[in-house]
Amino acid sequence: MTAPLPPLPARPHHDGSVLHTTAVAPALDETVILRLRIPEHFGTVADVQLRSVVDHEPRYTRAMLVGAADGWGWWEVPLLAENPVIRYRWLVVQGDGEHLWLTADGCTRQEPRDNDDFRLAAGTDIPEWSTEAVLYQLFPDRFARSVAADERELPEWAEHAEWTDTVIDRGPSIGRQFFGGDLDGITEHLDHLERLGINLLYLTPVFPARSNHRYDALSFDEVDPLLGGDEAYIRLIEAAHARGIRVMGDLTTNHSGDAHEWFTRSHLQPGTPESEFYYWLDPEQRTYVSWLGHSSLPKFNWNSSELRDRFIEGPDSVVGKWLRPPFSLDGWRIDVANMTGRYFDEDHNVDVRRTIRTTMREIEPETLLLGEYTADASPDFQGDAWHGAMTYPGFTRPVLEWLSVPGSPSSYFGIPYGTIPDRTGVDFYETHRRFTAGFPWQVRLASMNALDTHDIPRFATHAREGAVPVALGLSMTLPGIPVVWMGDEIGALGENGEDSRRPMPWDTLEDAAERIDLYARMIRLRRSNPALREGGIRWLHVSDDALAFVRETAVESALVLATRTHAVIDLEDGALTGAPERLEGPGIATGNGSGYRLTTDGISFTVWTLPGVVIPQAVLDETIEDLAPTDIAGHPGSMPGSK
């Protein structure tokens, strides 16, 4: 009979953080040291081996026990980064002959799949500032209007709306309803973002188009005059930079609008240079492939070298132009990145994304590249191009399912459930773990933790009473970039993506002072705590109504407790390092003689600070040759050096 798994705090632990590897993003052919921690109360350990996969061939390397600290034994093994992505897992053999595998998807007695392995991505170049980022997403038409907006003549496609009008979320007027927000209006309200503590601003597209969302661009060479044009964009970016706020643009590499200059030069005009930019379905170039059948969004054909030259390759391309002065954007979010370059048996996605990243790197290495995926993003996010994912299954959906009122109606991201499923904390943990396991650690840190975005319902619309601080807290403390979608901080609601694009009610903002203060406090907590920005993650407790984990660095750690009702959680001795000191929330941590008891009276979110993880001095050495085997209590029989 297979032995049961030990409880979470008693399991061996490894993640991709700097506690457990000497290089999070090593160079190709660089040797790194990987570290595994095993708690003393795990029991006798007879052997530890690392299974890595090189050139798709598994190999095993014996780990060495190098020291102990705070009730943990530390094991080390060298790994040569021979491939751009190295997959690996740990095999722990217990004294009674039982064995346990540790992968990115957790512990198991059964042989795991390679897809569940940890991943070490060599040669990646994620900007250092990304771990410090707290992102604010805004929709330019609905954020703020400057005085100049009143003087602009509406285009023929637009249907005028007053700032206080109800958003049209169904029917043909969805994309035509025009509130007239502009870039100078955003600049005038940067105080609001600074009050929150935002340091990364992401705007949905600013190019001229024939819709309020502007994903149907007419050109990529200028900023929409309805937003104030290029000069207003420069003013915004310069003003944001002066406040320490970076600015990210939004680019659609899958399609243009059907009024785009490239499309109008080629539609019904075979033989023109731009003809090769699209997929035509007849010799006359009358019909064409479009995004999900929407004729207003013709799909790009990335077989075209001319399209590559104009759009993504080199400093004079569209990608490059907006990163260079006088604009100096700090990165791109790529719309429907999952579909870019893919059509039937053609797949240019790898080539397109790598070319985009090469162009960005050549202009400014410290720029960020995020790709939108609505489903599992991990196959395309292995460190070769996309720095992080704007995706939903690993955080957005599971937090909504755990903290929403059961049975609430929802458009639910296109999944035809009809209502929001009622899931437990165990479901949250398992779903979150499963969808983040496929990312290399540095990609996970750069991926977006969004409660909602411009494309989906607002979390607060169907949240349980008291759930907003819990969900917000999870977005700020789990690995990844926290996201605030404009209006979240004032309690905005929305039944679907369109309804969530309501204009900011600036005249009544002080009515939301308590919610704004909550967001500012949680953002300040995130930005002031290194463990919450880049620390590893170790789960301590998972149950239907409570989640507890610790983010760890050598400098400091942070204990996090999220509950949706009252909770009493006993953590055995050794689960925590040091005594918790509360930073945020109502939870109480008390010693109980054999560890710590965490208690809370109801739905709540609490964070405590803890001392950093003590690493045995021997483990600090970056080479394993000088390390001598060490015996510690509970771990007899240290292994010889790596073979």
Three-class SS state of 175:
coil
Q: What is the dihedral of CA 569, 574, 577, 578, to 10 degrees?
A: 80
Torsion angle (degrees, nearest 10) of CA 359, 361, 366, 372: 50
CA–CA distance, 3 with 224 (Å, rounded to integer):
64
Give the active site residue among 76, 330, 372, 489.
372
d(CA 98, CA 632): 20
Torsion angle, CA of 274/276/279/283, rounded to 10 degrees? 90
Type of residue numbered 543: S
Q: Fill in the amino acid letter for 443.
A: V
Residue 372 is among the residues annotated as catalytic for this protein: yes
**Residue with tokens 């803890």, as numbered in its chain:** 610
Three-state SS sequence of 315-335: CCCHHHHCCCCCCCCCEEEEE
β-bridge partners, 280 = 288
Residues in the chain: 643
DSSP three-state, residue 449? strand
- Consecutive H or E run containing 80: strand 72-80
- Strand, helix or coil for residue 344: coil
The one-letter amino acid code at 592 reads: N
- The helix/strand count (H/E) of the chain reads as 14, 29
Choose among 373, 426, 380, 379: nearest CA to 396. Answer: 373
- What is the Cα–Cα distance from 467 to 572, expressed in whole angstroms? 28
Q: Report the distance separating Cα 116 and Cα 291, nearest Å.
A: 32
On whether the CB atoms of residues 619 and 74 are closer than 8 A, the answer is yes
Non-local CB neighbours of 579 within 8 Å, separated by 6+ positions: 589, 591, 610
C-alpha distances in Å from residue 268, one per residue of 286, 400, 510: 5, 47, 55
Across 305-405, where does the E strand assignment appear?
331-335, 342-343, 346-347, 368-372, 388-390
Of the residues 184, 335, 498, 556, only one is catalytic, namely: 335
106 φ/ψ angles, rounded to the nearest 5 degrees: 110, -170
116 counts as catalytic: no
- Token output for 528: 């002031």
**d(C-alpha 398, C-alpha 429), whole Å:** 8
Closest by Cα among 515, 392, 501 to 449: 392
Beta-bridge partners for 568:
599
Tell me which residue of 420, 372, 126 sits closest to 251, measured CA to CA: 372
Distance of alpha carbon 192 from alpha carbon 175, whole angstroms: 27
Distance CA(253)–CA(351), nearest Å, equals 12
Amino acid at 551: R
Q: How far apart are CA 508 and CA 506, in angstroms?
A: 5
**Cα 18 to Cα 440: distance, rounded to the nearest angstrom:** 13
Among residues 241, 172, 238, 183, which one has the least CA distance to residue 210? 172
Q: Which residues participate in catalysis according to the annotation?
A: 335, 372
